[in-house]
């Protein structure tokens, strides 16, 4: 019984820092992995990093030690000595001396602090960069919700290379360790595509359609899906370099769209180059 108490005492009172740092780290890590909103991921990332810093600072703690700045009596220049003791000022005027071993215990360990200064700086640099990425993504896709971005990317790729779309869809899904139910996903994406087909892509499209909107348009979009994707893929088919209709392309997922594409292949050509 006593031992158990000791363990609890040790873990929860003395080592609360170590426990809380783990908790914070896990909160941050979980947010980084599972949050859908990119900004939330970034907040998670910052929490994750500060948790590690907390760990390091905890390592540097010394019971009964002062901050790692020399006390006036040890100040190398002795200029801060205000105590009247004569021999101390005399010693200070002699120049700095190496601290005795006993005095070392009076100061906290400065090394972890130094390391963490660096780590904080790295953290803010990463954060700034990632925020810029967020803005860039928002400019490109009009949203910072991960699933919607994925849906848009998928659609973009389908337009560029109908045959690889299926594969790249898979890879992009794994890439973000984030998988939505495929059924809702395809529907959602087609909803978005239908919407985007109508609206000017440059205007800030209202993303994150409310669920009611989604539901209402779901039935419509389900029926119009093949058509939309067909027209999309047709526009991409007509690339100067690859103007041959790809009958053998792996479009087993959407056979209808492929055949439609074949018929209307060399129509309006709007090659969408990946760069730009």
How far is CA 275 from its chain centroid? 24
Q: Does 83 bind other proteins (CB under 8 A)?
A: no
Span interacting with other proteins, options 71-79, 82-90, 187-195, 215-223, rule CB under 8 A: 71-79
Decide: helix, strand or coil at residue 176.
coil
Rounded Cα distance between 259 and 234, Å, is: 10
Positions 223 through 242 that interact with other proteins (CB under 8 A): 239-242
By CB under 8 A, what part of segment 252-271 binds other proteins? none
Q: How far is the CB of 34 from other proteins (least distance, A)?
A: 4
Q: Over the Cα atoms of the chain, what is R_g? A: 31
Q: Report if residue 222 touches other proteins, rule: CB under 8 A.
A: no
Closer of 61 and 222 to other proteins (Cβ): 61
Chain mean position to CA 173: 15
Nearer to other proteins, 145 or 224 (CB): 145
Q: Count the residues of the shown chain that bind other proteins, applying the rule CB under 8 A.
A: 140
Selected from 8, 85, 174, 255, the binder of other proteins by CB under 8 A is 174
User: String of b and e for 165-198 (b: at least 16 CB within 10 Å)?
Assistant: bbebbeeebeeeeeeeeeeebbbbbbbbbbbeee
* Residues 93-132 contacting other proteins, CB under 8 A: 96-101, 103-105, 107-132
Q: Does 167 bind other proteins (CB under 8 A)?
A: yes
* Binding-site member from 89, 164, 196, 205 for other proteins (CB under 8 A): 164
Inter-residue contact 142 to 207 (CB < 8 Å): yes
Residues linked to residue 145 through DSSP beta bridges, in sequence order:
37
């Amino acid at each position: 019984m006593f031992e158990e108490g000791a363990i609890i005492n040790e873990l929860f009172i003395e080592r609360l820092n170590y426990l809380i740092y783990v908790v914070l780290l896990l909160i941050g890590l979980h947010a980084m992995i599972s949050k859908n909103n990119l900004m939330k991921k970034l907040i998670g990332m910052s929490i994750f990093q500060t948790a590690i810093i907390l760990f390091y600072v905890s390592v540097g703690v010394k019971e009964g030690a002062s901050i790692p700045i020399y006390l006036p009596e040890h100040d190398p220049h002795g200029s801060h000595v205000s105590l009247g003791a004569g021999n101390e000022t005399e010693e200070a005027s002699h120049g700095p001396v190496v601290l005795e071993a006993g005095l070392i215990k009076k100061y906290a360990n400065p090394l972890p602090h130094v390391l963490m200064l660096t780590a904080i700086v790295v953290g803010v640099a990463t954060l700034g960069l990632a925020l810029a990425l967020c803005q860039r993504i928002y400019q490109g896709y009009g949203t910072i919700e991960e699933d919607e971005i994925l849906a848009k990317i998928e659609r973009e790729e389908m337009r560029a290379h109908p045959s690889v779309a299926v594969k790249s869809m898979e890879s992009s899904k794994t890439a973000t360790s984030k998988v939505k139910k495929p059924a809702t996903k395809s529907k959602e994406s087609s909803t978005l595509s239908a919407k985007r087909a109508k609206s000017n892509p440059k205007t800030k499209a209202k993303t994150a359609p409310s669920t009611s909107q989604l539901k209402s348009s779901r039935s419509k979009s389900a029926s119009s899906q093949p058509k939309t994707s067909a027209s999309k893929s047709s526009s991409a088919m007509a690339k100067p370099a690859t103007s041959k209709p790809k009958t053998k392309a792996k479009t087993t997922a959407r056979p209808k769209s492929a055949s439609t594409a074949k018929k209307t292949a060399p129509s309006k050509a709007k090659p969408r180059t990946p760069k730009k």
